Structure 1
Amino acid sequence: MTSHDSATVAQRKAIPPIGAGTVAALAGVAAFSLSFPATVWATRGMGPWTATGARGLLAGMLAAGLLGVLRVRWPERRDLAGLLVVAGGCVIGFPLLTTLALQTSTTAHSAVVVGLLPIATASASAVMTRKRLPGMFWGAAGVGAAAVVVFTLTQHHGSVSIADLYLVAALLVCALGYAEGGRLAGHLPGWHVIAWAVVLALPISLAITLIAVPHERFAPTLSSLVGLAYIAGISQLGGFVVWYRGMGIIGVAKASQLQLAQPLLTLVWSVLLMNEHLPLTAPITAVVVLLCIVVTQRTRFKHV
């Protein structure tokens, strides 16, 4: 065997199998699908602001320890602005807004509304990168958004609740964070993006926690602590690690197709774990949104 052949064999061995990437991406989807139930558990023993601050604080300390042990170099100055966008959208904005929404909204209802996140992310990315997407993309996105609007209005007898406003705002800020994170992941390891984001958000997470604890109900129980541990260690950090690992192996396009199952999984958890009553319109709307996302993903990757 020549040295060239040996190098080729070594290179092939270094490339993870496609199956490993699929498993990693599916693990990320499964981890994120439990975020809403875990958030509800956490807020049974503490206020929403306390849960959000503690979530970011714990995730930030874990990430700082991991980055320190692995001796990861501080990000370059050109990446700091983007990382701050990720921190604001994915570490502070989305967790806080969805936690506030879950104070008066069910996990099933919230999962359906937030099911538009892939479309919102693609739209935000198109605006930020100034890419033109085909008309079929915007048509499918519009149908998906209309389905969620109809679902929301029927749930509240023609009106929009404060929880829905929180969820829409959460969609917008998280979409910006995801889009910017996707851009950064083009030249940074994916897990570095979320790790540095939670570290940069540490001062805000600490401030929120210190201010909120004296002013909110704080009577943590075992279940609330388990919920907090989950949203801090898994939803905010660990889930992103395996999710980005999967994306790195099988690609963004294939991984995004797997994410379509996330809202439906959350609906299952809402019934099995939260004992919520699931209106017929919830799974129907979730399936409509899923189909719309399939169309947007295929047109996006085929024509752009």
Structure 2
Amino acid sequence: MRVEDSATKSRTIAVDVAGTTTSNRGGVVLACLGVAAFSLTFPSTVWGLESFAPWSLVALRAVLAALIAGGFLLAGRVPPPDRAHRAGLVVVAAGVVIGFPMLTTLALQTSTTSHAAVVVGLLPLTTAVFSSLRTGIRPPRAFWLAALAGAGVVIGFTVGQSGGALSAGDLYLFGALLVCAAGYTEGGRLAVVMPGWQVVGWALVLSLPLAVAGAAVALPLEPVRMTAHGVIGLVWVAAGSTFLGLYVWYRGMAEIGVPRASQLQLAQPLLTLGWSFFLLGEDVSAAAPVAAVAVLVCIAVTQRAGRARPRAEEP
């Protein structure tokens, strides 16, 4: 009986890690809060660029976020992560803390926030693919069909809203898509075995030496023009997007699984377009409400169909 119970428990844990049976509403709320925080990243970056050049902004963003995270880790007397988790934390740091902010900031020099939202429209699908490859979990066909439909709606809407033109920053955006999906996948996996805020915290601390070096090089070489928007933008991308947003996002992914959580991000480009209109004064297409409803339908389908199944084990 003990052997059978142990085997059953092992299978249950494996399924929960993959996000196949977990339907915790709290996890959905946390993931949604993360999406809301991330939706402000592009407009805040545009504000930050009013005061800082791209390399300075990225470096200062990472330094401030790492100091916040380090303060929490010290206050909680959190021991260093296990050796087995350090490689994964490096992937999170390289993809989410350094790679995505750097590439999107460079892209936003030539792209509008509306156009840059294309990368976020593709991110949920890319994250689901990375997660499937990394964990061996295959969500059902209905999940993939809904995810593809949602990505198609978002891409069609955002590209149409920007006039269908490709900007010089597109290569940066596609690179950001890949590194961020890898960081999300690895962070979601680690958040199952350690608290989400510690995943974010240690990834930020690992990036601190590189961020300090980058700031030391960039600040003397690039112009700095302090404005209220610039300071607010820097503070938000550091404390809001990079620390708080990633904290609730990884906690949400740990509870409901990477594939299901990733599809909630289909709403992020539309939220970003709304912020772009209110904060930056960018024009938003009248098709936004129609696209919003279509995306919400796709999200609902992915959440119902997101109970992925693990690959069948060999007899």
TM-score (norm. length: structure 1): 0.81
Residue 315 of structure 2 is aligned to residue 299 of structure 1:
no
Query: Cα RMSD between the aligned structures?
Result: 2.9
Of 267, 272, 276, the residue aligned with 1:270 is 276
Q: 2:204 is matched with which residue: 198, 206, 226?
A: 198
Moved more, 237-246 or 148-157: 148-157
1:144–1:288 Cα contact (<8 Å) kept: yes
Deviation track 1:67-114 (CA, whole Å, cap 9, x = no partner) reads 011100000111000000000000001111111111122222222431
Q: Which residue of 1 aligns with 2:222?
A: 216
Letter of the 1:79 partner, please give it: H
- Of 234, 248, 256, which residue of structure 2 is paired with 1:251? 256
Query: Is structure 2 residue 29 aligned with structure 1 residue 29?
Result: no
What is the CA-CA distance between 1:66 and the residue it aligns to?
1.2
* Letter paired with 1:53: A
Cα distance in 1 between the residues matched to 2:135 and 2:212: 33
Tell me if the contact between 1:115 and 1:289 (Cα under 8 Å) persists in the aligned partners. Answer: no
Gaps of 5+ in 1: 1-17
SS at match of 2:110: coil
- How many residue pairs get aligned? The number is 286
SS at match of 2:169: helix
Please name the residue that 1:10 is paired with: none
Runs (5+) with no aligned partner, structure 2 = 1-23, 311-315
Which one of 122, 125, 136 corresponds to residue 128 of structure 2? Answer: 122
* Amino acid aligned to 1:97: L
Identity level (%): 52
The separation in 2 between residues aligned to 1:152 and 1:259, in whole angstroms, is: 14
Structure 2 counterpart of 1:77: 83
The question of whether the paired residues in 2 share the 8 Å contact of 1:55 and 1:231 is answered with yes
Mapped partners of 1:84, 1:19: distance in 2: 30
Alignment of 1:117-156 (within 5 A): 117-147=123-153, 150=156
1:157 CA displacement? 6.7
CA distance 1:286–1:169, change in 2 (3 Å):
farther
Corresponding position: 1:62 with 2:60: no
| Structure 1, 68-77 or 233-242: larger mean CA deviation | 233-242
User: Structure 2: how far apart are the matches of 1:23 and 1:144?
Assistant: 20
* CA–CA separation in structure 2 for the residues paired with 1:153 and 1:271: 16
| Whole-angstrom CA distance in 1 between matches of 2:195 and 2:25 | 20
Q: What whole-Å deviation, never above 9, does each CA across 1:264-297 have from its counterpart, x for those lacking one?
A: 2211111111100113466655655554454444
In 2, the alpha carbon distance for the partners of 1:63 and 1:242 equals: 14
Q: Quick one: structure 1 residues 205 and 291, their matched pair in 2 at CA, closer, same or farther if it must change by over 3 Å?
A: farther
| Equivalent AA in structure 2 for residue 74 of structure 1 | P
- 1:93 counterpart letter in structure 2: G
Partner of 1:178: 184
Question: In 2, distance between residues paired with 1:101 and 1:266?
Answer: 16
1:195: Cα distance to partner?
A: 0.5
Return the alpha-carbon distance in structure 2 between the equivalents of residues 286 and 112 of structure 1: 15
Answering whether residue 237 of structure 2 is matched by residue 240 of structure 1, we say no
CA distance in 2, matches of 1:161, 1:108: 11
Instruction: Report the CA distance shift for 1:93/1:290 in structure 2 as closer, same or farther (over 3 A).
Output: farther
Is the 2:89–2:199 contact (alpha carbons within 8 Å) kept by the matching residues of 1? yes
Structure 2 equivalent of residue 11 of structure 1: none
- For 2:35, the aligned partner's letter is V
